[in-house]
Amino acid sequence: MNAVVRLNLLVAIVFTIAFIITALEMLEQATKDITREVTAGVNLTHQLLSVAVTDNSLLQQILHTETRHVSLEIVDNSHTGISKETNTEGDVPDWFQQMIPGLDELRHKQYFLYLPDGRSLKLQADPEDEVEEVWESFQSVLILFGLSALLSNLAIYLGVRQGIKPVADFLAALNKIEKGHYATRLNHYSISEIDQLSGHFNSMAQALEHAETENRLLTHELMRIQERERAYLARELHDDLGQYLTGIRAQAWLIQNSTGNPDLVASVGGQIAENCNAMQISFRQLIRQLHPVMLEELGLLEAIKAQISNWQQAHNIPVTLELPDELPSLGDESQTHIYRIVQEALNNIAQHAQAEQTWVCLSSDNQQITLNIADNGSGNLADETAGKLSGLGLRSMRERARCLKGELVFNQVPGRGSSVKLQIPLQQTA
């Protein structure tokens, strides 16, 4: 059962209950009115007849005059007589008359007056006119309630149909969103509240579409970076470490076949030691590029100091570094994200900013950790309007900030530099 039918049924039930209550009140009041009117008519007629019993002309005039609420009949000793014609025609159904309490008792109320000629005048209550009036009023109220219920249900049907249509549109749009069709949009509606909901829905769908696009671009970028890193590892292992291993193997073979020449063995042994040392340095550099081992050994602050020191030497750009004496306890994943954000920001500055000075400030209070990285370069780290960033760039930084439940704000002014600000709530860093 849909909402329209349920609402119409509820309205019909309410009108039915209201009608029943009204009808019961009408019947109760009708009983009082009929009793009062009929009793008054009978008493008045009885008084008139008491006077007219001795005046035959007056009596005949009363008998042939139409009166309400009473029935007059002249009865002889054989129980036959001339009665005044009363209006016995009526369309009042029996079931309705049975609903009026005391009506039968009122109908059996009768009086007899004896005439001088020996006949009797029977005076009997006749409530039919009053019953017909009550029945007409009952029909009018029934028609009024029926029309009111019909018009109310019609208005509710039209109004609810108009209100349910946007709901159906919302459900259909949500089903499309659930299936991944983020380009789904709702139209404008004439009802201001529903139009506002439509606007919020479209904003949500647009945000989901933008996020899905960003995630797809990020996934493609990550796959490309992964393949590039694999190629880099293969090249490093082949060109650098592979050459050292080839040289060591040749030198070992030379030692093996020069056992009678101690000087040559000593010289080749020294070369092997140098090659092993160079290979170890290459391994350390490779491992440091793949994973910040210093972060696990010395902690976040010392790892950032070492990272910035190496970056300054590599790019010859001065860095003003401000670090606190200590930081709140952070998980390994949170420390790695902060370290990588600093690394990515510095790489973007080195590749795109053309800066002469860089500032890195890390601070904390009781509520959050704040990281600020700024430069005085060209202010051209990223094309935000086109949504294109250098490499992983700010996208990866924003994803890391999202993992930290924090907020990353990027600002740039052409010709005056750029800045990256990261704020991390402390309750989210555990």
How confident is the model over 121-142, as a mean pLDDT? 81
Give the whole-angstrom CA distance, residue 13 versus residue 175: 36
pLDDT bin (cut points 50, 70, 90) of residue 165 is: confident
| Structure-model confidence comparison of residues 105 and 398, the more confident one | 398
What confidence score (pLDDT) does residue 396 get?
A: 82
Tell me the three state secondary structure of residue 421.
Answer: strand
Helix H or strand E encompassing 24? helix 3-52
Residue 130: inside a domain, yes or no? yes
CATH of the domain at 307: 3.30.565.10
What confidence score (pLDDT) does residue 53 get?
A: 64
Helix H or strand E encompassing 337? helix 332-348
Tell me the three state secondary structure of residue 213.
Answer: helix
Residue 185: inside a domain, yes or no? no
Residue 334: inside a domain, yes or no? yes
What confidence score (pLDDT) does residue 351 get?
A: 85
Residue 59: inside a domain, yes or no? yes
The residue from 290, 310, 330 where one domain ends is: 290
Does 305 lie in the same domain as 251? no
How confident is the model over 180-202, as a mean pLDDT? 86
Give the whole-angstrom CA distance, residue 32 versus residue 40: 12
What confidence score (pLDDT) does residue 372 get?
A: 95
Residue 349: inside a domain, yes or no? yes
| pLDDT over 70 (residue 54) | no
pLDDT bin (cut points 50, 70, 90) of residue 87 is: very low
What confidence score (pLDDT) does residue 276 get?
A: 87
- Phi/psi for 407 (5° steps) reads -130, 130
The model's pLDDT over 323-366, given as tens digits with 9 standing for 90+, comes to 998 888 888 888 889 998 998 899 888 888 888 899 999 998 88
Does 93 lie in the same domain as 8? yes
The residue from 290, 310, 336 where one domain ends is: 290
Give the whole-angstrom CA distance, residue 130 versus residue 235: 113
Residue 165: inside a domain, yes or no? no
Does 43 lie in the same domain as 149? yes
| pLDDT over 50 (residue 160) | yes
pTM: 0.48
In eight-state DSSP terms, residue 259 is T
Domain, as residue range, for 122? 3-158
Question: Bridge partners of 111?
Answer: 123
Does 138 lie in the same domain as 9? yes
**Paired tokens of 86:** 């009363």
Does 273 lie in the same domain as 320? no
Buried b (16+ CB within 10 A) or exposed e, 214-247: eeeebeebeeeeeeeeeeeeeebeeebeeebeeb
Does 218 lie in the same domain as 80? no
| pLDDT over 80 (residue 423) | yes
In eight-state DSSP terms, residue 187 is P
Buried b (16+ CB within 10 A) or exposed e, 325-358: eebeebeeebbbbbbbbbbbbbbbbbebbebeeb
Residue 178: inside a domain, yes or no? no
Does 420 lie in the same domain as 401? yes
In eight-state DSSP terms, residue 323 is -
pLDDT bin (cut points 50, 70, 90) of residue 118 is: low
In total, how many domains does the chain have? 3
